[in-house]
A and B are shown apart, each in its own frame.
Chain A
Amino acid sequence: DTAVSQTPKYLVTQMGNDKSIKCEQNLGHDTMYWYKQDSKKFLKIMFSYNNKELIINETVPNRFSPKSPDKAHLNLHINSLELGDSAVYFCASSQGAQASYGYTFGSGTRLTVV
């Protein structure tokens, strides 16, 4: 029973393409996130949704568009992919936006743009 699952695990694509990453959590959490981990291992928050409402939108190019159809799902669509988008993208969830009990992360999607 995977708590936070994301697909695909690996994604290799050419510059200029559009791709999506999907995330689902079965923990009953009300808040979901997208984080990006770069080659230096820094995890940077991109977006956060609480009960399907966008509550955090960091300085991310508008080529990145999150969508939360319900509180158990948060997808990330990326248009016109660039080389610099190559990274590992993590979905996470928490109970409450304060994450007092920590985040539960998925296993990541390694995106490689060639």
Chain B
Amino acid sequence: SQKIEQNSEALNIQEGKTATLTCNYTNYSPAYLQWYRQDPGRGPVFLLLIRENEKEKRKERLKVTFDTTLKQSLFHITASQPADSATYLCALDNFNKFYFGSGTKLNVKP
């Protein structure tokens, strides 16, 4: 069966450290993978998209990698700040439909 797995346990890190979130998938062959941020009571906000032929994408303090062999994407936030605390969702496409993981909650402590 098809699965998208993100760590359901919250990730707690200290301000200034790098946060690394994982998205693993099974039985998908996505051409794109996206990452979103969701704050409580709000809709997800698009952060980054990475294509299957791209190994890495960066935007300011964010970095995403996409390994189609491992079927995994890693999402990094460098120099993390308390304002980065939120739930982060990965989404991958399957014939123009995007399927979302359940997200990982990130807590950045001052």
Contact = CB atoms under 8 A, between A and B. Distances in A.
Interface string A78-94: 00000000000010100
B43 A98 contact: no
Chain B interface bracket (under 10, 10 to 19, 20 to 34, 35 or more): 20 to 34
Interface string B34-59: 10100001111111010000000000
B28 interface: no
A12 interface: no
Interface of A: 4, 35, 40-45, 48, 55-56, 58, 90, 92, 97-108
B32 A106 contact: no
B61 interface: no
Contact of B46 (A98, A103, A108): A103
From B36, B44, B49, residue with most partner A Cβ within 10 Å:
B44
B39 to A, nearest CB: 10
Interface of B: 32, 34, 36, 41-47, 49, 87, 89, 91, 93, 96-103
Nearest to A103: B46
A80 to B, nearest CB: 26
Contacts of A4: 43
B102 A42 contact: yes
B86 to A, nearest CB: 12
A100 B46 CA distance: 11
Contacts of A90: 43-44
Nearest to A96: B96
B33 to A, nearest CB: 11
